[in-house]
């Protein structure tokens, strides 16, 4: 039986397996690329299957039928502040169904109401197909990664998405923990490792102790469930709109083109000092054009990025460590390619501690594949990983108002036994 690791991302997803030599590798998709856009398009034709990935992005399907960001509302409530804010920029329609956000669209001439789990399931089905095509065998089980700060509802919804995709989840693994495993398995020596994971929609960080013998222990974690590259794209777009006179803000198609241009400009600025944002126009020969400099980008996203350092400091305090106690800093997630991220971390930890011998888009899936191999290997297998994680959010029961009865406090190592250990506390937002 074959087991795989899947990084189900906000913007991109990828799947990895283990080579015969024991090393993890990300499997290319049908376009020959290592990452697949987490985008699903629903054609309104006769009995047409949903399109996933690049084919969905490039399709002629109406914008209201092209769904992305499902990870941003999976397991959430309709009235969540973040969902309400994102709805302002989504071209697809979100409705309130007994407190749950559902996408309302017409697919194959039928009105459908789809939960985020159903949309994420289509992405997971594609990951499954990619793996089966490469391995020439059926894939039924996988380790799937989630942001460290996903709550229980979000984790359960991710499991439901996998079930809909025909995948049995061996284990959910926190994304920064998967990164630490991908690093620790093939690097000897005792080290305190800091994981800084900034992706398309979420930010996580973790402090992990690696003892050099495939034993990995998470000692602190922190994060933000709604902070990533897409937020930076929106900030750039808002700046562009300040400079674009008469831009059709109420035209979803034009706004999607603007966001795409802003995303590409952001990526360009990781290699060059300037980038051009240009939108042509059918009503004007000039269109809309803006030169964006790296300095201006840094200025625009400065507050957001420095906010991640507050979370970094909190994780260090939780672990009773200082920045000088950290031996290695590993960057994960595509947004860590932003040079300001690297500059801030170099100043925080020192330049020689940043570890860049990996692809930040692939390292999470590779770690998941290593976990899958370890959990399903025989005791005689050379790959045995021993790791523990911690509970990122306290688990308990709401009594009234802001009073909670906690059974498991944040930061507790698991698995754990907490019989008759309830703690009463006020909830802090």
Active site residues: 7, 71, 175, 197
Between CA 194 and CA 331 the distance in angstroms is 9
Query: How many Cα atoms sit within 13 Å of 160 on the Cβ side?
Result: 14
């089980």: which residue's tokens?
Answer: 141
Closest to 131 (Cα-Cα) out of 118, 144, 120, 119: 144
């937020």: which residue's tokens?
Answer: 231
Structure tokens at 46: 């006769």
Cα separations in angstroms, 324 against 29, 81, 223, 328, 330: 41, 37, 21, 10, 15
Between CA 206 and CA 315 the distance in angstroms is 7
Between CA 172 and CA 74 the distance in angstroms is 15
Closest to 160 (Cα-Cα) out of 148, 149, 172: 172
Asked if 225 and 217 touch (Cβ cutoff 8 Å), the reply is no
Sign of the CA dihedral running 369, 373, 375, 376 = positive
Q: Which residues have CB under 8 Å from 212's CB, separation 6+?
A: 184, 187, 188, 189, 190, 191
Paired with 221 in beta bridges are 206
Q: Is 422 exposed, middle or buried (0-12, 13-18, 19+ CB in 10 A)?
A: middle
């Amino acid at each position: 039986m074959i087991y795989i690791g899947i990084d189900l991302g906000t913007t991109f997803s990828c799947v990895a397996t283990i080579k015969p030599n024991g090393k993890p590798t990300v499997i290319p998709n049908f376009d020959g690329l290592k990452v697949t856009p987490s985008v699903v398009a629903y054609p309104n034709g006769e009995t047409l299957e949903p399109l996933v990935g690049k084919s969905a992005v490039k399709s002629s399907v109406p914008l209201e039928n092209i769904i992305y960001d499902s990870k941003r509302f999976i397991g959430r409530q309709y009235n969540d502040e973040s969902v309400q804010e994102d709805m302002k920029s989504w071209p697809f329609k979100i409705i309130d169904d007994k407190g749950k956000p559902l996408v309302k669209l017409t697919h194959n001439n039928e009105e459908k109401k789809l939960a985020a789990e159903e949309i994420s399931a289509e992405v997971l089905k594609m990951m499954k197909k990619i793996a089966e095509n490469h391995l020439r065998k059926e894939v039924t089980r996988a380790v799937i990664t989630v942001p460290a700060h996903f709550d229980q509802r979000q984790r359960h919804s991710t499991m439901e998405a996998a079930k809909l995709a025909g995948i049995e989840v061996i284990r959910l693994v926190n994304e920064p923990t998967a990164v630490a495993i991908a690093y620790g398995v093939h690097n000897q020596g005792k080290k305190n490792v800091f994981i800084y994971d900034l992706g398309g929609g979420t930010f996580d960080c973790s402090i992990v102790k690696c003892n050099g013998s495939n034993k990995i222990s998470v000692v602190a974690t922190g994060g933000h469930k709604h902070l990533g590259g897409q937020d930076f794209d929106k900030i750039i777009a808002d700046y562009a709109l300040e400079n674009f006179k008469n831009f059709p803000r109420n035209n979803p198609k034009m706004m999607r083109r603007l966001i795409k241009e802003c995303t590409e400009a952001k990526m360009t600025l990781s290699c060059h000092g300037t980038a051009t944002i240009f939108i042509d126009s059918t009503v004007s020969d000039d269109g809309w054009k803006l030169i964006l400099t790296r300095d201006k980008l840094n200025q625009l996203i400065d507050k957001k990025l420095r906010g991640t350092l507050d979370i970094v400091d909190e994780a260090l305090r939780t672990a009773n460590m200082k920045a000088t106690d950290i031996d290695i800093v590993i960057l994960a997630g595509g947004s860590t390619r932003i040079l300001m991220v690297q500059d801030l971390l170099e100043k925080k930890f020192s330049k020689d501690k940043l570890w860049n011998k990996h692809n930040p888009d692939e390292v999470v899936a590779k770690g998941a594949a290593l976990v899958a191999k370890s959990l399903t290997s025989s005791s005689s297998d050379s790959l045995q990983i021993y790791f523990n994680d911690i509970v990122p959010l306290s688990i308990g029961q709401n009594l009234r108002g802001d009073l909670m009865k906690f059974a498991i406090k944040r930061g507790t190592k698991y698995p754990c036994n907490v019989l008759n250990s309830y703690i009463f506390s006020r909830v802090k937002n």
